[in-house]
């Protein structure tokens, strides 16, 4: 069983307005299989597996994060779908105290999820939403860092310096220089990075996911065939060959080979 140190990204789910359409897109793109949880209280929550390993999930979006709130001159614009990054914690209740003290926002207070664990949702001072997961029966994703799973997470933000203080005080993350810029670390192990808002079409800070793939160029081409789009075409980066994509409902993500 894969276990995660507190502060590590460990689970990832997509909030979607159309779960069936999202399942069709991601299974077609990444070779995932999908299984809807049968219990009525799960509300259609559907898990994704790759080579039999649990890697992510999708659900109908019900969480009012800053990323979904209306913006723009007419207050009618918003992003209907987004990936959420969950960070392991050994005490979800403690985040309810730490986040407000660090000038963040509580979106969902800790709640138990079907005996699998306890979750809560927060936003940092710049408005990037994230979740925490206190494991019980479920630790998180079975695998990360391989093709078909989440390989990398990034905070896309306008305030990297402020974020460093916030996530240090709440999740215990530290920052360090890396080959592609600032990285997040847990107990000296790199677990993600920081990216400047504006490098993709996103207009508000958020936590982004990057999936490992065997062929970045082919995956980008296939995404368009499946109804998605390319924000930034495949290019070589210090992490590998990377493309920034959008799914059919506007949820941003990247692929890396």
Q: Could you give all domains of the chain from N- to C-terminal order, each with its CATH number?
A: 9-256 (3.10.180.10)
pLDDT tier at 14, thresholds 50, 70, 90: very high
Angle between helices 92-101 and 160-170 (to 10 degrees): 140
Residue appearing with tokens 């960070």: 87
| Tokens describing residue 28 | 């077609």
Buried b (16+ CB within 10 A) or exposed e, 76-103: eeebebbbbbbbbbeebeebeebbeebe
Spatial separation of the C-alpha atoms in residues 175 and 186, rounded to whole Å? 9
| Tokens describing residue 214 | 């065997």
Spatial separation of the C-alpha atoms in residues 1 and 245, rounded to whole Å? 31
| Tokens describing residue 69 | 């709130």
Q: Is 46 helix (H, G, I), strand (E, B) or coil?
A: strand
pLDDT digits (tens, 9 = 90+) for 105-128: 999 999 999 999 999 999 999 999
Residue 141 is predicted with a pLDDT of: 98
Average pLDDT in the 64-75 region?
A: 69
Compute CA distances 72 → 77, 156, 163, 255, whole Å: 6, 19, 24, 29
pLDDT tier at 42, thresholds 50, 70, 90: low
pLDDT digits (tens, 9 = 90+) for 188-206: 999 999 999 988 888 889 9
Average pLDDT in the 74-98 region?
A: 86
Which pTM does this prediction carry? 0.94
- Cβ atoms of 127 and 66 within 8 Å: the answer is yes
DSSP label at residue 199: S
Answer whether residue 72 shows pLDDT above 70.
no
């Amino acid at each position: 069983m894969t276990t995660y140190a507190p502060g590590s990204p460990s689970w990832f789910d997509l909030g979607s307005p159309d779960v069936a359409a999202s399942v069709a897109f991601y299974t077609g793109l990444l070779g995932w299989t999908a299984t809807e949880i049968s219990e009525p209280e799960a509300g259609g929550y559907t898990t994704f597996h790759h080579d039999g390993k649990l890697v992510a999930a999708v659900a109908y979006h019900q969480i009012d994060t800053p990323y979904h709130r209306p913006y723009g001159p007419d207050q009618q614009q918003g992003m209907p779908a987004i990936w959420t990054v969950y960070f392991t914690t050994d005490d979800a209740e403690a985040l309810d105290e730490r986040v407000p003290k660090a000038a963040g926002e509580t979106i969902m207070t800790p709640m138990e999820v079907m005996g699998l664990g306890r979750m809560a949702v927060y936003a940092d001072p710049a408005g990037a939403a994230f979740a925490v997961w206190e494991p019980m029966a479920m630790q998180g994703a079975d695998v990360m860092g391989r093709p078909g799973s989440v390989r990398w997470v990034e905070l896309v933000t306008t305030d990297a310096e402020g974020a460093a203080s916030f996530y240090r005080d709440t999740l215990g993350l530290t920052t360090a220089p890396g080959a592609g810029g600032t990285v997040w670390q847990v107990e000296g192990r790199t677990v993600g990075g920081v990216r400047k808002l504006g490098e993709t079409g996103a207009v508000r800070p958020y936590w982004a996911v990057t999936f490992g793939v065997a062929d970045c160029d082919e995956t980008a081409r296939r995404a368009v065939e499946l109804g998605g789009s390319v924000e930034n075409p495949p290019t070589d980066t210090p992490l590998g060959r990377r493309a920034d994509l959008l799914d059919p409902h506007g949820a941003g993500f990247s692929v890396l080979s």
